[in-house]
Structure 1
Amino acid sequence: MRRRPPLHDVVRVRIAELVESAARAHVIGDQATAWRQLEDAHVLSQPWVRPHLRVHAHMLGFALRQRDIREIAGQVGRLLLAGPGSVTGRYPIGNTGRSRVSAFAAMPIRDDLADLLSTAPSAPPSDETGPANS
């Protein structure tokens, strides 16, 4: 089991920004950008239960609005796996969280996201239940 560091404000804020940006992109009809933003939020959220579940809940909401049956089914399954995966540290690092990729496949983490995750421990930790995670 991997030991997960506390959720740091820089990561928490970035996850919230990505989810908000995805919602804005969805409203204007830019679905590709919306999904990319959620995928990035997913990569950042994986080590922490609540943020990880919240990102998958947002993904499920997008899939429902798009009436994408494959994505809906995949997100329901991922919602069941995300919590235990984060708790035990047994999640596929870098996985984008979409149904079009295996829920068990590790993927390379883009440099900007890896840098954020690697520098986050030097920032003051935040409680996972903060307002940006609501």
Structure 2
Amino acid sequence: MPVFTKKIRPYVEQELDQYRALMREAKPAEAFKHLENAHVLGQESTWLHVKVHWIMMLWGFQQKRPGEFFGQIFRIFGAAAMTAIGFVPKGNTGGSNVSPFKVMPIRQEHERLIEQAKAS
């Protein structure tokens, strides 16, 4: 497992835990925000990037949102192919409501965690 993945994984998993907790409370819109956070944090790791898109796809299916479901299928393949070669639109939240190529601002706390994970 690459060093970045090892270092950022606990923060991605924390967001995924919050996502799961909110889904258990039947708060899918709030839960999806944590998937977006997990995406921003983990998108430079091929494994985590694909994992988050997979969970977003399942969310789309569970919420009966075909646009999200099918949009995530496209993004899963893109994440698998493009992350490995370094093509990652920084800050992109990963939902089908935004272009998969759009660079977006990153919250300061997320930027700090990403930079820490990249440092040796």
Question: Which residue does 2:40 correspond to in 1?
Answer: 43
Instruction: Please state if 1:31 is matched with 2:28.
Output: yes
Root-mean-square deviation over aligned CA pairs: 1.5
Structure 1, unaligned stretches of length 5 or more?
Answer: 124-134
The AA in structure 1 aligned to 2:58 is G
% same residue: 31
Question: Which residue does 1:74 correspond to in 2?
Answer: 71
Residue correspondences, number: 119
Q: Residue 10 of structure 1: CA displacement?
A: 4.1
Q: Which has the higher helix share?
A: 2
2:118 aligns to what SS in structure 1?
Answer: helix
TM-score, normalised to structure 2's length?
Answer: 0.92
Measured at CA, do residues 49 and 8 of structure 1 come closer, stay the same or move farther in structure 2, by a change above 3 Å?
closer
Question: Which residue does 2:10 correspond to in 1?
Answer: 13
Any conservation in 1 of the 2:5–2:48 contact (CA below 8 Å)?
Answer: no
Measured at CA, do residues 75 and 10 of structure 1 come closer, stay the same or move farther in structure 2, by a change above 3 Å?
same
In the TM superposition, structure 1's runs of 4+ consecutive aligned residues that sit over 3 Å from their partners are none
Question: Which residue does 1:102 correspond to in 2?
Answer: 99
TM-score, normalised to structure 1's length?
Answer: 0.83
Any conservation in 2 of the 1:8–1:121 contact (CA below 8 Å)?
Answer: no
Deviations 1:11-49 (A, max 9, x none): 110101111110110121111221110001001111111
